[in-house]
């Protein structure tokens, strides 16, 4: 069985986190595999976990009603899938469909939130990291809105 | 500036014949040209240079050359149909004549960067001016390290050279990543602006030269991302494509700070122009 602490340490999201915190987080971690065309989660479902992608590709999509399904972002290896587990009411805002078989580490949201309550420094370290992810995704969304390929 | 055809007046267009014209996307087409005037049979250019294309009786437009620079004589242009001249060219048929002045301008540093890793970052029609550099690198593959091509477009329907893109991965030991800003569920590639795949590509900024071309806003965001991951400004090259008229530095239309894009560019090393990069085109 793979050592989860080693895998967590090797993921870019946690690569610079202190060992003591890695060990705490490992208690909430598990290996998961999802197959192509599977849905990891659906819009509106409870956001119980987030995922550190190791391999594969996931598409975030929304139901565009008469416009069909709209793909808004893809997530690949080394990236994070999901932050709704940390923000009330802990509900997913998109569907996550697997485009290429995914191997990931799943981290249980409730388990982590309890650990953050017990050790606020751990909570702070994780929140700083998630803030960076949220900022990156917000910037990407803003650039998409600008439509930078449109002339004039 | 690369010396043009010997003894040819750079203000007099020579004639090329349309041999083929076809649509890449809804509003972008490629025109293949063969020499009509004997002097053009020896035409050669460097990757990144441009011609002034003259629709006789209509007007001229500056368009990058998008074919293999090792071939002499015939060449192609991929053109966005956006104005009076380009619309006129798009309506041409096989056998019609187009005026050519060129080649003009600076070129991608494909020889100076041998031994390095290369990262090509293209957005939309920006892939066209980079394609000759890509061909040169493919033809001289052993002279370079890791090659990464990152290409973004608005939608899958806006991607250029789709058949070729699919082959580059397989044939030339290069990594090709393509992303679109938006797509429906039939698209199996990446979705997200091109900056998202810059980070994903895990480049080595210490030994990589980046060549960037696309809409200026796309270049700005891409350059910001490259520098954020550690690229020095001197390792980034970009192609500025603004309003050019004479193409030989006389008229001043393409003045860009202390430079003329037609003869000091269009390819610039970013540290030379970073202080004037945000100057808007008038």
CATH number for the domain that contains residue B187: 3.40.50.80
Which pLDDT value is given to residue A65?
Answer: 84
Q: Spell out which residues of chain B touch residue A149, defining contact as CB-CB under 8 Å.
A: 123-124, 153-154, 158, 181, 214-215, 218
Residues 6 or more apart whose CB falls under 8 angstroms from that of A120 comprise: none
Mean pLDDT of A112-124: 95
Determine the Cα–Cα distance for residues B93 and B42; give it in Å rounded to an integer: 24
Nearest to A140 among B184, B192, B218 (CB): B192
Residue B70 belongs to some domain of the structure: yes
Shortest distance, CA B112 to any CA of chain A (angstroms): 30
ipTM of the complex: 0.81
Q: Cβ(B209)–Cβ(B113) under 8 Å? A: yes
Long-range contacts of A111-120 (CB under 8 A, 24+ apart): A111/A27, A111/A28, A112/A25, A112/A28, A112/A85, A113/A85, A113/A86, A115/A24, A115/A25, A115/A27, A115/A28, A119/A24
Residue B6 belongs to some domain of the structure: no
Are B26 and B129 found together in one domain? no
Determine the Cα–Cα distance for residues B181 and B193; give it in Å rounded to an integer: 5
Mean pLDDT of A115-140: 93
Determine the Cα–Cα distance for residues B92 and B99; give it in Å rounded to an integer: 13
State pLDDT tens for residues A80-112. 999 999 999 999 999 999 999 999 999 999 999
State pLDDT tens for residues A56-70. 999 999 988 888 888
- Of all residues in chain A, the one with the smallest CA distance to B177 is A76
Determine whether the interchain pair B191/A150 forms a contact, defined as Cβ–Cβ distance below 8 Å: no
Q: Is the pLDDT assigned to residue A74 strictly greater than 50?
A: yes
3-state secondary structure of B226: helix
Tokens 């479902």 identify what position?
A45
Q: How many domains does chain B have?
A: 2
Q: Spell out which residues of chain B touch residue A151, defining contact as CB-CB under 8 Å.
A: 80, 82, 215
Q: What is the pTM of this model?
A: 0.89
Are B89 and B20 found together in one domain? yes
Residue B198 belongs to some domain of the structure: yes
Residue B111 belongs to some domain of the structure: no
Determine whether the interchain pair A149/B154 forms a contact, defined as Cβ–Cβ distance below 8 Å: yes
Q: Residues of A at the B interface (Cβ-Cβ below 8 Å)?
A: 57, 59-61, 68-74, 76, 78-79, 97, 99, 140, 143-144, 146-151
Are B83 and B164 found together in one domain? no
Spell out, as residue ranges, where chain B has pLDDT lower than 70. Answer: 1-7, 281-282
Tokens 């000759």 identify what position?
B132
Nearest to B218 among A76, A79, A148 (CB): A148
Which one of A149, A151, A152 makes the best mutation probe of the B interface by having the most chain B beta carbons within 10 Å?
Answer: A149
- Domain residues for the domain of B77 are 14-104
The strand order across the sheet containing B236-239 reads B190-191, B175-180, B147-153, B117-123, B208-213, B236-239, B267-269
Are B66 and B127 found together in one domain? no
């Amino acid at each position: 069985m793979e050592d989860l602490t080693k895998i967590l340490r090797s993921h870019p999201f946690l690569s610079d986190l202190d060992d003591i915190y890695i060990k705490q987080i490992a208690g909430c971690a598990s290996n998961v595999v999802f197959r192509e065309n599977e849905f990891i989660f659906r819009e509106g479902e409870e956001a119980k976990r987030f995922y550190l992608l190791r391999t594969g590709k996931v598409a975030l999509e929304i139901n565009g009603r008469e416009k069909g399904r709209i793909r808004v972002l893809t997530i690949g290896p080394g990236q994070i899938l999901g932050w709704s587990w940390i923000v009330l009411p802990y509900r997913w805002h998109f569907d996550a469909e697997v485009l290429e078989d995914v191997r990931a580490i799943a981290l249980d949201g409730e388990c982590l939130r309890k650990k953050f309550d017990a050790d606020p420094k751990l909570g702070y370290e994780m929140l700083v990291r998630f803030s960076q992810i949220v900022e990156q995704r917000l910037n990407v969304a803003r650039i998409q809105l600008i439509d930078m390929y449109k002339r004039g | 500036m690369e010396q043009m055809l010997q003894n040819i007046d750079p203000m007099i267009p020579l004639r090329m014949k349309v041999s083929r014209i076809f649509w890449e996307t809804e509003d972008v087409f490629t025109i293949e040209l063969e020499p009509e005037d004997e002097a053009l049979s020896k035409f050669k250019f460097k990757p990144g240079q441009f011609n002034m294309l003259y629709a006789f009786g209509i007007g001229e437009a500056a368009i990058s050359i998008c074919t293999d620079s090792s071939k002499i004589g015939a060449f192609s242009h991929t053109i966005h149909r956006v104005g009076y001249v380009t619309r006129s060219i798009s309506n041409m048929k096989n056998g019609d004549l187009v005026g050519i002045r060129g080649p003009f301008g600076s070129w991608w540093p494909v020889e100076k960067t041998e031994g390095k890793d290369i990262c090509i970052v293209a957005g939309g029609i920006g892939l066209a001016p980079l394609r000759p550099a890509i061909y040169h690198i493919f033809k001289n593959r052993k002279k370079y390290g890791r090659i990464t091509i990152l290409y973004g477009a608005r939608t899958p329907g806006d991607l250029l050279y789709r058949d070729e893109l699919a082959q580059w991965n397989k044939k030339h030991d290069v990594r090709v990543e393509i992303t679109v800003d938006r797509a429906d569920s039939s698209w199996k590639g990446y979705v997200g602006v091109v900056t998202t795949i810059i980070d994903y590509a895990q480049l080595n900024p210490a030994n990589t030269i980046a060549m960037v071309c696309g809409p200026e806003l796309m270049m700005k965001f891409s350059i910001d991302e490259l520098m954020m991951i550690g690229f020095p400004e001197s390792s980034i090259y970009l192609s500025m494509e603004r309003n050019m008229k004479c193409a030989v530095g006389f008229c001043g239309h393409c003045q860009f700070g202390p430079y003329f894009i037609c003869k000091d560019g269009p390819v610039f090393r970013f540290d030379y122009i970073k202080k004037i990069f945000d100057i808007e085109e008038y």
